[in-house]
Structure 1
Amino acid sequence: MSTDLGLDTLLVRLALSLAAGALLGWNREELGHPAGLRTMVLICLAACTAMLLANWLLAHTVTPDTTVLRLDLMRLAQGVLAGIGFIGAGTILKQGNIVRGVTTAAAVWLATVVGLCFGAGAWPLGTAATVGGLLVLQGLKWVETILRRRSYGSVTVEFDAGRTSHAAILAVLEAHGLGLSSVTIEQAGSTGRVIGLGAHRARGSAWSLALLAALHETPGVERVVWEEAA
């Protein structure tokens, strides 16, 4: 950890953290995720400032006359990483049975670490982490689109239990190739409900429209909702 904190050093480190946060935030902003451009820039800038403060404290605490020093400056960085968990958790949203925002939370964590790197003067490491993060966010999304053979989502079916059964609904889902990873079965009086979370191999809207049509044709089905995971 370098303790050389001239004005030029401060400006360079802060500028690098601003640039890294802007690059990571641009990716999230473009895709419409909760933690966008300004959020990422502020997070990265705050982390950089925290490490610069640690450097400043070290430079102004250690002197040639110092004989006993008990100052754990790394606790400052640890506190930043622990505190950022609250922001990361806030980007994770649960909509129905589908969880979104986990990748954005990971990007928030990365922006924090990048800011700490630049604040500590580890410019090559911070630059490499920024480039690696962009490659993962941009490049692997393209690769994932090519390799991905399944689409994920949740289906909710409400029906008259006097005219059909939970087993019949599950049979329709199975017949249309929906591999269920979890199923919730409910019944209140004469109304039954099946909530399933799973994956199917077909892509596009044709499959989901065919599933909705087949479920609506099942006797007793009153309401069907399919929610595709992004």
Structure 2
Amino acid sequence: MTLDSLLALLQDHTITLPLGLSVLAGLLIGIEREFRGKPAGVRTHALVCLASALMTLLGLRMDEWLTTLPPDAQIVTDMARMPHAILTGIGFLGAGVIFREGPAVQGLTTAASVWLTAALGIVFGAGLLELGVIGTVVALLVLVLFRLLQRVLPARPVIRLDVVVPQASALDAAVLSKVLDRIGLKAGPISLSQDVALGLRRYKLLAAGLDQRIDCDEVARAVRDTAALHKLTVVPLDRDTGN
């Protein structure tokens, strides 16, 4: 490698344009994830998209590899294997951002965005620039506009409450529903179980809200200020419909 060969390569638009667009696509999708405070943000998406484009370009330029072959040897390639290998490897990376919290599974949207970013890198690396641009725009529309659409849809469960009170407590299902209403949450069906031996009542429910970013401390304070509690558990559910 010489300086002249490096400069010549940088002037080759069949390489620089796919790589540049792949980084831009990864940055745009990563910004949306970063704005939502997700573990895979700008750098992760940009690197995944760039790496996918690089690997695709590497496979397409196999005839330029420095290798010694026997006389009259022929190279037989199957470019379909490269995208398959890339997306399989990205699957392990995407699985790292998925986790379960109580009854909810979080990180699915971020895992899907990482997988999609890798696919866009493959498309750019293969030279299908227009298709890559269209894919990037559609991905951003899904991530941004569909989130806005969710604001006009019916409220969905955002927290799970488990409240244990003494048998003589004034807090019951009706009072608990009113407390949640005051902080903008709507209580779902409330189950009740009683431990007669210990003199305790236990309420379990899911509460829905339009704002997916729930302050668990605020919810706990509102319930605690209503009556004396024996035990209180507040578990946030899937706060951004897949994360």
1:92 aligns with 2:92: no
Q: Is the 8 A contact 2:19 2:53 kept in 1?
A: yes
State the match for 1:222 in structure 2: 230
Q: Is the 8 A contact 2:188 2:205 kept in 1?
A: no
In structure 2, the residue corresponding to 1:24 is in which secondary structure?
helix
TM-score for both structures, normalised by structure 1: 0.71
1:129 aligns with 2:148: no
CA distance in structure 1 between the partners assigned to 2:225 and 2:204 by the alignment:
13
Q: 1:119 aligns with which of 122, 125, 133?
A: 125
CA gap of 1:30–1:137, structure 2 versus 1, over 3 A, is same
Q: Map of 1:108-187 to 2, 5 A cutoff?
A: 108-145=114-151, 147-159=152-164, 178-179=187-188
Deviations 1:121-151 (A, max 9, x none): 0101100000111111122212222x22214
CA gap of 1:198–1:58, structure 2 versus 1, over 3 A, is farther
**Which protein has the bigger helix share?**
1
Q: 1:30 aligns with which of 35, 39, 49?
A: 35
Q: Is the 8 A contact 2:176 2:223 kept in 1?
A: no
Deviation at 1:13, TM superposition (A): 1.0
User: CA RMSD of the aligned region, Å?
Assistant: 4.1
CA distance in structure 2 between the partners assigned to 1:45 and 1:28 by the alignment:
17
Could you list the runs of 5+ residues in structure 2 that have no partner in the other structure? 1-8
Q: Is the 8 A contact 2:120 2:136 kept in 1?
A: yes
- Which region of structure 1 is more displaced relative to structure 2, 83-92 or 170-179? 170-179
State the match for 1:53 in structure 2: 58
In structure 2, the residue corresponding to 1:129 is in which secondary structure?
helix
TM-score for both structures, normalised by structure 2: 0.68
CA gap of 1:131–1:125, structure 2 versus 1, over 3 A, is same
Q: Percent identity?
A: 31
In structure 1, the residue corresponding to 2:141 is in which secondary structure?
helix
CA gap of 1:118–1:200, structure 2 versus 1, over 3 A, is closer
The aligned length equals 213
Deviations 1:188-216 (A, max 9, x none): x84776654464689998xx859954995
Q: Is the 8 A contact 2:187 2:205 kept in 1?
A: no
